[in-house]
A and B are shown apart, each in its own frame.
Chain A
Amino acid sequence: MSVVLADMPKADMSETVAPAATKAIAPSRGQRPWTFYVLATLFGLYVLALYGPMFCIYILSFQDIRGGLVFPMKGQSLHWFVDLFTQVRTGDVKGSFDRSIKLAVIVTIITVVVSFLAGLGFRKRFRGDTAVFYMMIGSLVAPGLVLGLGTGLLFQALGLNASWYTSALGAQLSWTLPFGVLVMFAVMSRFDHVWEEAAYDLGASRWQSIRLVMIPVLAPGLVAVALFGFTLSYDEFARSLQTAGSLNTLPLEIWSMTLNVTSPSLYALGTMTTIVSFIVIGASLGSIVLIQKKRGSSAKG
């Protein structure tokens, strides 16, 4: 999704679709080919399967006290949301929610800064760049649980205490940074170097060209990196399991709930975390669109 997010503002892509070309595969007017209906059905079923189950649990989380894990819906109330925060047996939901948000914010800030700098660095070849690149790919594809265990053992060997803001923070960065840098690759490939050179010609220092030219131009891409940083950290599970120490993050709390809670409060927690995710996604995509709109209107005016 990285590359396309960067592409999204460029609505001019439609102009490149030649009418004759679209005719054979999908005529731009007139009758659609039979493949359109087959593929549209496939797409519809995919989206239904993607969202259907999620909406089931959102609906089921609003049952009353008689509620179970399956349909039919038994009454309507906020009972299970209240239950989530008041029952001791479901663990420390509020605390872990708090920690997860704080951790996600820290991870987001570090991810944006580090990915941006790495994106600048990778624009030109330098000795050893391939090694750094493959280290990053390795960090992305390595099994999270194995990395988490290694980090946990490392902290143990060094006599450090594992905690969510040290070992888990690092373990999560090993997951969010490769994503962030890959998004930056896509964003940078669409950055026109002419702007940067113009800044230098006008006497800008390297820092001024970054601050006054690159950051504003690349802003939508940086928002996309932030979105990846926040959501990947907020939902991260495998790498945090052995590194979070004694205090749980929210996904770890959900994991322990899947093992011992068999009431709709599990669904209520799912609904709650998804609302947070949707707010973050909406804010990110919204701000990308806003930046583009502002840019479009100032370019015209």
Chain B
Amino acid sequence: MQPSSAQTPPRANLAGWLYVSPLVIVLVPFFVAPILVVLVASFFATDGFGGLTPGFTLASYVEVLHSALTLKLYLATIKFTVLTWTFTLFIGFFVAYFLVFHVRSQLLAIGLFLLCTVPFWTSNIIRMISWIPLLGKEGLINQALLGTGAIGQPLEVLLFSDLAVVIAYVHQLTIFMIVPIFNSMARIDKKLIEAAIDTGASRFDILRLIVVPMSKSGIALGTIFVVSIVMGDFFVVKVMSGGGSASVVSAFYEDVGVLQYPTAAASAVLLTLVLVAVVSLILRTVDIRQEIAR
């Protein structure tokens, strides 16, 4: 156990701050200040042409909270978040489980793991538009289904729909589940599983009583990534729904486009509060800092 900060000598405090000072120097003007600017702007009045009048009014919040659209946007965002989370968790968990417990060669497991991570380092936008030749009205899937006679008309629901949005999210974000879950699973002591087998546990019991509880921190970390990215996204929703669906941030983007800064800022502040609530709820179940550094 490391000593608590109350007991650390002043020298250690100074050295610690010196080392993290470059990080703080970047994050204060480019994270803290912009958030404060948005917070302040949400209380300003606007002339409707992009001009901001300094002042304090709750008009923007009243407008956002009274709008029926807000509820609709949040419901849509929550729907996308829950669907994406479910699929990424399912696929991510079992891909990690396969790599850790079923691939016999460690080197092969790491190779397959890297195979999963390589697309993460390429452009998300390109990976998203790459679904067009597959899902489109004349895309491969429709061609194949028409060819086998399974359908008489091309399915239009495949592209530019909510389905396409969820597919694109799952495609991009499953890696955020695989990596932390793989990490926690790889750290499970194999002796524990050995002991469970010796005491007569079935494969399912081991999964339920050992693997899932011990992967909890990985699942929590992956959940934070997936939830915060989906809730903060506007791009996938805008392109993959073909303009048919909207999310909280895509509405924010439209507001900014027509220079409605205070309304946009108020909705951004609300979203941030919701995000903070969700993330801190998840963080209560696990101390990530310890998990990461372990």
Contact = CB atoms under 8 A, between A and B. Distances in A.
B34 A151 contact: yes
A247 B229 CA distance: 26
A281 B129 CA distance: 21
Contacts of A273: 122-123, 126
A1 B27 contact: no
Interface in A9-47: 11, 13-14, 16-18, 20-26, 28, 32-33, 35-36, 39-40, 42-43, 46-47
Contact of B117 (A1, A146, A170): A1
B17 to A, nearest CB: 6
B91 A255 contact: no
B286 interface: no
Contact of B106 (A14, A20, A35, A139): A14
Interface in B86-119: 91, 94-95, 97-99, 101-107, 110, 112-119
Contacts of A227: 121
Nearest to A28: B104
Given A42-B95, A143-B275, A117 B130 contact: no
Interface in A223-265: 227, 231, 234-235, 237-238, 242, 251, 254-255, 258
A20 B17 contact: no
Q: How many A residues touch the partner, as a band?
A: 35 or more
A3 to B, nearest CB: 5
A128 B5 CA distance: 8
Interface string B206-239: 1000000000000000001100100111110001
A50 interface: yes
State the majority secondary structure of interface residues on A.
Answer: helix
A164 B5 CA distance: 39
Interface stretch (B58-66, B145-153, B175-183): B175-183
Contact of A25 (B23, B101, B182): B101
A231 to B, nearest CB: 4
Interface residues of B, number: 113
Nearest to A141: B228
Contact of B133 (A21, A56, A113, A181): A56
A120 B235 contact: no
A226 B260 CA distance: 38
Interface stretch (A75-83, A88-96, A182-190): A182-190
Contacts of B285: none
A237 B203 contact: no
B83 to A, nearest CB: 16
A24 B289 CA distance: 33
| B112, B121, B182, B279 pick with most chain A CB within 10 angstroms | B121
A209 to B, nearest CB: 13
A43 B122 contact: no
Interface string A55-85: 0110010000000011100000000000000
B292 A185 contact: yes
B106 A132 contact: no
A40 to B, nearest CB: 7
B20 A139 contact: no
A191 to B, nearest CB: 11
From A117, A127, A129, A234, name the one whose CB has the most chain B CB atoms within 10 angstroms: A127
A36 B124 contact: no
Contacts of B113: 1, 4
Q: 9 smallest A-B Cβ distances: which pairs?
A: A150-B34, A121-B19, A126-B16, A143-B232, A14-B106, A141-B228, A53-B130, A170-B30, A39-B98
Given A11-B106, A13-B106, A129-B5, 8 more contacts: A1-B120, A40-B98, A42-B98, A46-B91, A126-B15, A145-B256, A146-B271, A151-B37
25 contacts: A1-B120, A3-B292, A14-B106, A14-B107, A17-B106, A24-B201, A24-B206, A39-B102, A114-B23, A117-B23, A118-B20, A124-B8, A125-B3, A126-B16, A132-B20, A136-B27, A137-B288, A141-B275, A146-B34, A151-B37, A227-B121, A235-B124, A238-B235, A274-B126, A280-B121
